[in-house]
Structure 1
C-alpha cells in the first residue's frame, strides 16, 4: 500500500476549496455529508459547551473551526501535512483549535486527557482498521462520550477492507489506500463488540435530484 501521508497529500491537491460561505451566509459550519447545505449539524455530537472534542481526519479543518467558534476545545488530527498547512494558512492560530499531524491510532495512544466526543467525516474511521481504531477511541472517550462518523455507504457485496484509488498524472499509476466499508447493521455489531452502547447506524438519503448515493451516519456512546 502507498504511504498514507503521500496519498492524502495527493488527494488534498485534487479537492476543491470549501466555499467562503454556506447557503445561510455563515463562514463556518458543520457538514456530515458530501453535499452542500444538506443533513444535520453539530447537534448530533451532543458535546457540552467548552467540551474537548476530537476530529479524526480533520483535513483543512472546516468542521473543527466551526466547533471552536462555538467555544469548544477542538483537537484536529490528520496524517497529511499539506492539509494541515492549508488549514493554518487559512486561519492561523484559532483560539480553541489545535491541529496535529499524526495517524489516528498513534495519537490516541499518546493522548492522556480524554474527550467528550470524537467524530470523523469521511475521515480516519473510514480509512483505519476498526479493530485498532475503535478500542483506541473508546479508551479516550469519557464516560457517556459520543463517537460519530460519516462516510459513503458500501457498494453492495464489497464489504470489509477495500482498496481505494487516488488518481495521479496521466502516466502514473494511482495511489492505493485502504478503506473499511460495512453495512449499517455490521457497524452496529462492530461497535457493540468493542464496548460501545446506544449504537445507531443509518443511511441519510441524498438531496432530492439526480444524486443517488446517500451518506452513512453512525452514532455510538461509551458506557456511563
Structure 2
C-alpha cells in the first residue's frame, strides 16, 4: 500500500533543514533582505522601528536575530519542529529572540499579544490560505502596526493556491504536495483591504537584469 503524501510540516522537517551531513553550524547572520537577490531591493526599514515583532515562518532564524540585535523583541513561529529546535539551538545565547513551534494560525488565535510589526519573508504567508490568515494578523497588530511580506513573483499563469510537487532526498521517495498562494499585487491588496488593513502597498520588485522573476513585496498597516 503506497504511503500518503507528505504534509507541509513533514516536508519542512525532512527536506528544508538539510544543508549537509552531521552537525551544522549556525548560518552567517549579516543582512535583512526581502528579495532573493543579495543586495537588491529594500531592507528592514520597511518595518519602521518596532519594539515588538512577530515573524511568521522564521526557518533558520537569521532575520529574527538581525532584528533582535538591532533592539527589537522578536518572536518567530514555525510549524516545523526540526526548524524550531535548530533555531533555538543555534541562537540560544541571543537575547531578545524567541522561537515557538506552532501553526501560525493557531498561534494567532490563542496568543493575545499585540505586535508593532508582523512579517513573513518567503515564509508562512506564502503557504497559508490568506482568507484565514490575514484577518488573524490584523487582530494581532498594535495600533498603527505594520505587516510586511515577500515571496517570489507569481508566474503569468498562476492564480490562487498552486501545488508544489517533488521527490527529493535520496532514499525517501514519498511524494509531497505543498500549496503556495500565488496572486498578483492587486489581488493581495484587495484581500488585505477586506481584512481591515490600510495604507496598502503591493508591488513587484523587478529582478536584476540577468534574472527572470522578481519579488512580490507587500506592506500594509492598521489604524
Structures share a fold, TM > 0.5? yes
Q: Displaced runs of 4+ in structure 1, greater than 6 A? A: none
Say how many residue pairs are matched.
214
Distance 1:167 1:86 in 2: 24
Distance 1:73 1:183 in 2: 32
When the two structures are superposed, what TM-score results if normalisation uses the length of structure 1? 0.89
1:161 to 2:161 alignment: yes
Is the contact between residue 112 and residue 140 of structure 2 (CA under 8 Å) also seen in structure 1? yes
The SS at the match of 1:40 is coil
Is the contact between residue 26 and residue 90 of structure 2 (CA under 8 Å) also seen in structure 1? no
- What displacement does 1:14 show? 4.6
- Who is 1:89 aligned against? 89
Is the contact between residue 153 and residue 214 of structure 2 (CA under 8 Å) also seen in structure 1? yes
Gaps of at least 5 residues in structure 2 are none
- Who is 2:47 aligned against? 45
Distance 1:168 1:42 in 2: 33
Distance 2:10 2:59 in 1: 14
When the two structures are superposed, what TM-score results if normalisation uses the length of structure 2? 0.89
Is the contact between residue 53 and residue 74 of structure 2 (CA under 8 Å) also seen in structure 1? yes
Q: Which moved more, 1:178-187 or 1:3-12?
A: 3-12
- Who is 2:196 aligned against? 195
Give the RMSD, CA atoms, in angstroms.
1.9
1:6 to 2:42 alignment: no
- Who is 2:143 aligned against? 143
Gaps of at least 5 residues in structure 1 are 21-26
Question: Structure 1 residues 90 and 18 mapped into 2: Cα distance closer, same or farther (>3 Å)?
Answer: closer
Question: Structure 1 residues 43 and 15 mapped into 2: Cα distance closer, same or farther (>3 Å)?
Answer: farther
The SS at the match of 2:204 is strand
The SS at the match of 1:120 is strand
- What displacement does 1:40 show? 1.2
- Who is 1:24 aligned against? none
